[in-house]
Structure 1
Amino acid sequence: MTLILLLAVSVSGSYLPATAEEAPGYRIETYIDCLRHPYSIAFLPDGGALITEKAGRLRLFANGRLSPEPAAVLPAVYDKNQGGLTDVVLHPRFADNQLVYLAGSTGDDNANRTTVLRGRLEGHRLTDVETVFRAQPPKDTTVHFGARLAFLKDGTLLISVGDGGQYREKAQDLSSMLGSIIRIRDDGSVPDDNPFVDRSGALPEIWSYGHRNPQGLMVDNVTGEAYATEHGPRGGDELNHIEPGNNYGWPLATYGVDYTGARITPFKEYPGTIQPLVQWTPSLAPSGLDRCRGCLWPEWEGDFFAGMLMGRQVQRVSFKDGKSHRESLFEEPGERIRDVTFGPDGALYLVTDNVQGRVLRVTPRSHRDTTR
């Protein structure tokens, strides 16, 4: 690995020396620094970006610098253990309505839940913030919130909700949202064509169920199909193709075991449940997911990219002749990767999971950057 000297934009807007890392085929550089435990990034049409910070701050990157004041501070966010402000996505018609959607956790130690807020970005501030979704029922644990967002092509919103850790059986209970992926309209109402709208005792918001802790969620901008990654226990992390009404098996079937080593279930497959496209054993702890569509690497077109917390890398997943192929990438920084997204410039952006976190930009080593 060769270290070279680049010019990077600092938070004050001046230019300071920064290091970039090169490896065969790609270059990694710091794009945004001085973030406090960042979680996800969404790019704005004007070339800027919004970044969530776990403690409840939404940061704005505009005109090549990180704004010193947050675009929003959300005191209602429950920032404890795995809780906090997690995802940010733009409304599909953001250019017209300036609506921004945020996922995270709210409540307290005795009753907390995955929650979705929306607000309007006016200049450098998020205004008119309101709640459009709260997972039911509340729980009293500080883990497994899920809390990822993705808009389908029809303008409805998918929300991942974890099983709460101690409530894994609820992932098979359609009267509970724990361990599910939710689908709502952009105002929080329930679409008439959700799969369980007419089933007695089922919550109509549920789109799929049998999930453990889905911390990666995306919609393919070419096919419109949804995909998610989720944490297994000890082993059994998964990449799944999410379709309405499907049961993804947890905890009836898993490739993992409990953290103590105890068996959770004797089954890796279970009748009526869907097998993952890919499973990782031992665990790499996936968080953040995207797919190369028109990215700077034509040879990676259609491949999936999943951030890994425990693995401190990105996994590239490709499929050929019905078989999956996996490659470990971008291990040079040695940091936990919380979010993965391709930017409008075709580069790959990685959000690192550190108290002093940053956004990394990955480009092919042969790429000539004309945007700076």
Structure 2
Amino acid sequence: MNKHIFIISTLVFYMSCAQPKKKEDIALKAEPQSYKIEAVVKGLINPWGMAWLPDGSILITEKDGRLIHFNAGEQTEIANAPNVFNSGQGGLLDIELHPNYAKNGWLYITYASEEGAENGGHTALIRCKLKNNSLTNIETLYKAQPNTEAGQHFGSRIEFDNDGYVYFSIGERGERDLNPQNTKRDGGKIYRLNDDGSIPPDNPFYNEANAKKAIFTYGNRNPQGMAKHPDTGEIWMHEHGPKGGDEINIIKKGANYGWPLVTYGVNYSGTKITDEATREGIVSPIYYWTPSIAPCGMAFVTGDKYPKWKGKLLVGSLKFGYVELLSLEGNKVIGRQKIAQDIGRVRNVKMGLDGLIYIAVEGQGIFRLIPE
């Protein structure tokens, strides 16, 4: 072989290996239905977050600001929920139990908060306790600033790692050229705190002058899915791209995920945002979708109820009304299947305490998949 042809071929090979696989590379297949879809909670408007209490009952956030306790078929609205900026994508967002909830009783909630000098709102994280169908001991752990009346990109998901740190996401609030690449501003970030709201001194920007010390990653657009890998303990997340370019990323300390300097998407008008899809120093996604599926909610399949699916990744699609079941080989996506087809706009997907897959659907409620 000609020496120059060999060198070029080798370079092309390694460049192709370095690119994350995308939608066109991995065909989306319809999984033969081996389950039935059962309605669990009916009559919900926009169920955003789900968290299971030790007794098997479910706490559900409705974006309009209601926190609902579903127990034995009954829905009870929890009193003293925070006042929310219910505008556009803002409202009452995610909810998560402390890993040691059975001992300490702490709940964690993200929501669009109006607290601050400016009109509008921005994402906040609180922790609180539940007593007699009311929230008590409410503590604000983080409140992003400044408020804005824009209605887009609040994030937000919450996840704990194996060391007890709490992570939460905040979208860039529609200010892509101002927030995500600037560590001195909130928005377009993943944050990490101790469970009491204090900031770990080993956070990547802790010693940077004027930086938001809670930031753990930056260059994010609007992350609305987050899940801990059951084997590695790594925190995975996905985020909305613009028109195209939804991404799956693994959270790494101090990582820049590129928005809006690099993207696989374009403006909603079809015009270019940038000519760059990759750049040195910016972490490429492990997978991306073009066109967008509008991902929301994320979970790994665990337990033994779905033996063929165990270890796979679930991602809900707002745009196409189904759940993607992604096969993994390490940190690579090697297969895609479509389950719960045409169920509706999927706002969240999680594993329940009973080992079943639960799907929250806008305008309907919460369903679960019963293996047959």
TM norm. shorter chain > 0.5:
yes
- For 2:341, the equivalent position in structure 1 comes to 331
Contact kept, 8 Å, 2:170 with 2:187, in 1: the verdict is yes
Of 126, 151, 166, which aligns to 2:160? 151
- For 2:237, the equivalent position in structure 1 comes to 228
- For 2:102, the equivalent position in structure 1 comes to 95
Q: How far is 1:243 from its partner?
A: 1.2
User: What are the Cα deviations for residues 256-307 of structure 1, in whole angstroms up to 9, with x where unaligned?
Assistant: 0001111001011111111111111111100110011224112222211011
Unpaired runs of 5+ residues, structure 2, are 1-30
Q: How far is 1:252 from its partner?
A: 0.8
For 2:107, the aligned partner's letter is: V
For 1:275, the aligned partner's letter is: S
Of 277, 281, 285, which aligns to 1:272? 281
Of 52, 73, 77, which aligns to 1:70? 77
Q: How far is 1:27 from its partner?
A: 1.1
TM-score by length of 2: 0.87
Secondary structure at 1:40's aligned position in 2? strand
- For 1:191, the equivalent position in structure 2 comes to 200
1:180 matched to 2:189: yes
- For 1:289, the equivalent position in structure 2 comes to 298
- For 1:19, the equivalent position in structure 2 comes to none
1:306 matched to 2:319: no
- For 2:53, the equivalent position in structure 1 comes to 44
Secondary structure at 2:39's aligned position in 1? strand
Q: How far is 1:124 from its partner?
A: 2.6
- For 1:202, the equivalent position in structure 2 comes to 211
C-alpha change, 1:277 and 1:122, in structure 2 (3 Å) is same
Secondary structure at 1:298's aligned position in 2? coil
Between 1 and 2, higher relative CO (CA 8 Å, sep ≥ 6) is seen in 2
Residues in 2 aligned to 1:163 and 1:323: alpha-carbon distance in whole angstroms: 27
Residues in 2 aligned to 1:85 and 1:197: alpha-carbon distance in whole angstroms: 29
Q: How far is 1:201 from its partner?
A: 3.5
- For 1:160, the equivalent position in structure 2 comes to 169
1:132 matched to 2:141: yes
Contact kept, 8 Å, 2:126 with 2:138, in 1: the verdict is yes
Q: How far is 1:236 from its partner?
A: 0.4
Residues in 2 aligned to 1:150 and 1:181: alpha-carbon distance in whole angstroms: 11
- For 1:3, the equivalent position in structure 2 comes to none
Residues in 1 aligned to 2:106 and 2:192: alpha-carbon distance in whole angstroms: 18
Residues in 2 aligned to 1:351 and 1:282: alpha-carbon distance in whole angstroms: 23
Of 224, 227, 249, which aligns to 1:215? 224
Contact kept, 8 Å, 1:168 with 1:212, in 2: the verdict is no
User: What are the Cα deviations for residues 209-233 of structure 1, in whole angstroms up to 9, with x where unaligned?
Assistant: 1100001111224321101110000
For 1:66, the aligned partner's letter is: E
Q: How far is 1:33 from its partner?
A: 1.1
Secondary structure at 1:178's aligned position in 2? coil
Number of aligned positions between the proteins: 339
Residues in 1 aligned to 2:315 and 2:370: alpha-carbon distance in whole angstroms: 17
Of 362, 369, 372, which aligns to 1:362? 369
- For 2:261, the equivalent position in structure 1 comes to 252
User: What are the Cα deviations for residues 168-188 of structure 1, in whole angstroms up to 9, with x where unaligned?
Assistant: 442111111210000011221
Residues in 2 aligned to 1:56 and 1:236: alpha-carbon distance in whole angstroms: 30
Contact kept, 8 Å, 2:89 with 2:152, in 1: the verdict is yes
Residues in 1 aligned to 2:41 and 2:47: alpha-carbon distance in whole angstroms: 11
Secondary structure at 1:171's aligned position in 2? coil
Q: How far is 1:161 from its partner?
A: 0.6
Residues in 2 aligned to 1:182 and 1:49: alpha-carbon distance in whole angstroms: 26
For 2:323, the aligned partner's letter is: V
Residues in 2 aligned to 1:195 and 1:66: alpha-carbon distance in whole angstroms: 45
- For 1:18, the equivalent position in structure 2 comes to none
Residues in 1 aligned to 2:278 and 2:304: alpha-carbon distance in whole angstroms: 35
Fraction of identical pairs, as percent: 39
Residues in 2 aligned to 1:95 and 1:24: alpha-carbon distance in whole angstroms: 36
Residues in 2 aligned to 1:74 and 1:192: alpha-carbon distance in whole angstroms: 31
Secondary structure at 2:156's aligned position in 1? strand
For 1:252, the aligned partner's letter is: L
Secondary structure at 1:60's aligned position in 2? strand
Q: How far is 1:87 from its partner?
A: 0.5
TM-score by length of 1: 0.87
- For 1:17, the equivalent position in structure 2 comes to none
Q: CA RMSD in A?
A: 1.8
Residues in 2 aligned to 1:117 and 1:28: alpha-carbon distance in whole angstroms: 34
Secondary structure at 1:96's aligned position in 2? helix
Residues in 1 aligned to 2:33 and 2:193: alpha-carbon distance in whole angstroms: 43
Contact kept, 8 Å, 2:324 with 2:339, in 1: the verdict is yes
Larger displacement relative to structure 2 (227-236 or 113-122) = 113-122
1:81 matched to 2:88: yes
Secondary structure at 2:308's aligned position in 1? helix
Higher strand share: 1
Q: How far is 1:74 from its partner?
A: 3.1
Unpaired runs of 5+ residues, structure 1, are 1-21, 366-372
Contact kept, 8 Å, 1:83 with 1:145, in 2: the verdict is yes
Q: How far is 1:50 from its partner?
A: 0.3
